[in-house]
């Protein structure tokens, strides 16, 4: 393996000349991932003025293709990537999570991730309008031809216009090495990982934890050794979320009586002083589970109605938010409170107003000092000017103006939030996103 670890390459967009981007017929000529029958359905619906049907059909076909590629990595591995104990099918994760996974696994690049996320928000908005206003006497707002054409253009450039290559191949080769090659603490691959974009590190951690739970015999022994080597070497680079995952895997090994995993992970935790990340109670796990459900609901269609059952549950789970569940919980709360460019769930906000006062000053200090710079979901929201009024409202009403923020970057976020400095907040959020995802 070379000194530059390239487990997979981000997939670039196909080139469609500018003079062909204004015609659905011209764009459809670049669609190679669908058969002619499916292409005709998109074109005919579009030309008949049924733009919402055309984009929804194109979107569903594109997401199905992404899902198929993601599944080539295995459902157990995907569950680890999204922080779930298990998945029965890909239907259990939201379209936004699928787009993020496709990016992290190199199926699409960062521009595609941005454009597809934006397209999803637009599609969801117009579907919600049609669902919510179907019994209304008022005229329903419909998507216009330009927005619809741009969505199909983006879907073609990044997904439908290419036969998606087997991007999992290089990763599968590296994954094979993790269970067949004994790495050492000074291996060049580990040194290179330390300076790689974070999603490489995250993927390796979750792969190793999955391997030691599923392999048997000699391969398992090698994977256990590599798990200890990689986790100790990379510990200082790990985000809180992945340190918690290691702690949770350790706790599960204890409850299941799995001595081999226990012995491996106790060595990791002792060498890294990582026992703070071992789960405290079942209540912490319950809090985190509901928070994850709220996050998924936020990114689903009709989220304004799906969020409030989970915010209600969170409001009923006690007067103190457990520290071990705080990251998931604060992420869910912020996403729901900020909403998106089309608004937020008023019914959910009723319960959020009951939850937010439970957050202690120390927890807010922890959020600004440590978590905010690592939280891609929150950073993505704060880089969007359409939701900043809601963020400033949250900060003004629930965050103390005399927090002790010692982190250089956290202080910038905190001060920009307190002073409602939109320009600085957006710039810092975008910079932090680049640090997470790379260019």
pLDDT (tens digit per residue) in 390-413? 999 999 999 999 999 999 999 999
pTM comes to: 0.61
60 pLDDT higher than 90:
yes
283 touches 329 (CB < 8 A): no
21 touches 153 (CB < 8 A): yes
With tokens 């001060």, the residue in question is 415
d(CA 162, CA 121): 23
Other CB atoms within 10 Å distance of the CB of residue 144: 9
286 pLDDT higher than 80:
no
Q: What is the pLDDT of residues 235-278, one digit of tens each?
A: 999 999 899 999 989 888 888 889 999 999 989 988 888 887 88
Q: Positive or negative, the Cα torsion across 363, 364, 368, 374?
A: positive
d(CA 139, CA 133): 8
In this prediction, residues 7-35 reach a mean pLDDT of 85
d(CA 128, CA 142): 11
191 touches 230 (CB < 8 A): no
Work out the mean pLDDT of the chain and round it to a whole number.
87
SS3 percent helix, strand, coil of the chain, rounded to 5, is: 70, 0, 30
140 sits in the region (left: phi over 0; alpha: psi -120 to 50; else beta) called beta
Q: Which residues of 119-135 are buried (b: 16+ CB within 10 A; e: fewer)?
A: bbebbbbbbbbeeeeee
Enclosing H/E stretch for 154: helix 145-155
Q: Predicted confidence band at 169 (pLDDT cuts at 50, 70, 90)?
A: very low
| pLDDT, position 134 | 53
Q: Which residue has the higher pLDDT, 189 or 355?
A: 355
90 touches 67 (CB < 8 A): yes
In this prediction, residues 55-70 reach a mean pLDDT of 92
Q: Exposed (0-12), middle (13-18) or buried (19+): which is 431, by Cβ within 10 Å?
A: middle
In this prediction, residues 368-392 reach a mean pLDDT of 94
| pLDDT, position 167 | 46
d(CA 61, CA 28): 14
d(CA 221, CA 172): 19
With tokens 């690592």, the residue in question is 374
DSSP for 398-429? HS-TT-----HHHHHHHHHHHTT-HHHHHHHH
């Amino acid at each position: 393996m070379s000194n530059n670890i390239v487990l997979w390459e981000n997939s670039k967009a196909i080139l469609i000349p500018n003079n062909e981007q204004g015609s659905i017929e011209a764009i459809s000529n670049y669609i190679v991932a669908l058969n002619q029958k499916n292409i005709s359905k998109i074109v005919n619906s579009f030309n008949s003025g049924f733009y919402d049907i055309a984009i929804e059909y194109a979107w569903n076909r594109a997401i199905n293709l992404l899902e198929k590629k993601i599944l080539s990595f295995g459902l157990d591995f995907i569950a680890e990537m999204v922080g779930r104990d298990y998945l029965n099918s890909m239907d259990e994760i939201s379209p936004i999570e699928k787009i993020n996974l496709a990016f992290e696994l190199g199926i699409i690049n960062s521009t595609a991730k941005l454009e597809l996320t934006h397209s999803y928000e637009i599609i969801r908005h117009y579907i919600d309008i049609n669902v919510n206003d179907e019994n209304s006497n008022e005229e329903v707002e419909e998507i216009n031809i330009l927005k619809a054409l741009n969505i199909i253009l983006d879907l073609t450039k990044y997904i439908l216009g290419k036969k998606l290559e087997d991007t999992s191949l290089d990763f599968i080769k590296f994954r094979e090495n993790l269970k067949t090659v004994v790495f050492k603490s000074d291996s060049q691959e580990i040194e290179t990982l330390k300076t790689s974009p974070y999603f490489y590190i995250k993927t390796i951690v979750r792969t190793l934890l999955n391997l030691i739970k599923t392999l048997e015999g000699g391969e398992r022994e090698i994977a256990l050794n590599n798990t200890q080597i990689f986790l100790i070497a990379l510990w200082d680079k790990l985000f809180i979320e992945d340190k918690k995952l290691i702690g949770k895997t350790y706790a599960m090994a204890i409850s299941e009586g799995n001595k081999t995993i226990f012995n491996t992970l106790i060595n990791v935790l002792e060498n890294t002083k990582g026992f703070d990340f071992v789960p405290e109670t079942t209540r912490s796990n319950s809090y985190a589970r509901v928070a994850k459900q709220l996050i998924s609901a936020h990114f689903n269609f009709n989220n304004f109605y799906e969020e409030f059952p989970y915010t209600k549950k969170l409001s009923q789970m006690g007067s103190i938010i457990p520290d071990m569940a705080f990251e998931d919980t604060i992420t869910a709360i912020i996403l729901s409170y900020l909403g998106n460019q089309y608004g937020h769930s008023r019914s959910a906000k009723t319960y959020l107003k009951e939850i937010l006062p439970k957050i202690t000053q120390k927890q807010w200090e922890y959020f600004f000092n440590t978590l905010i710079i690592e939280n891609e979901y929150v950073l993505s929201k704060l880089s969007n000017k359409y939701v900043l009024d809601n963020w400033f409202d949250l900060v003004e009403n629930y965050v103390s103006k005399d927090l002790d923020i010692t982190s250089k970057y956290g202080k910038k976020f905190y001060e920009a939030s307190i002073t409602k400095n939109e320009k600085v907040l957006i710039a810092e959020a975008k910079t932090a996103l680049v640090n997470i995802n790379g260019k």
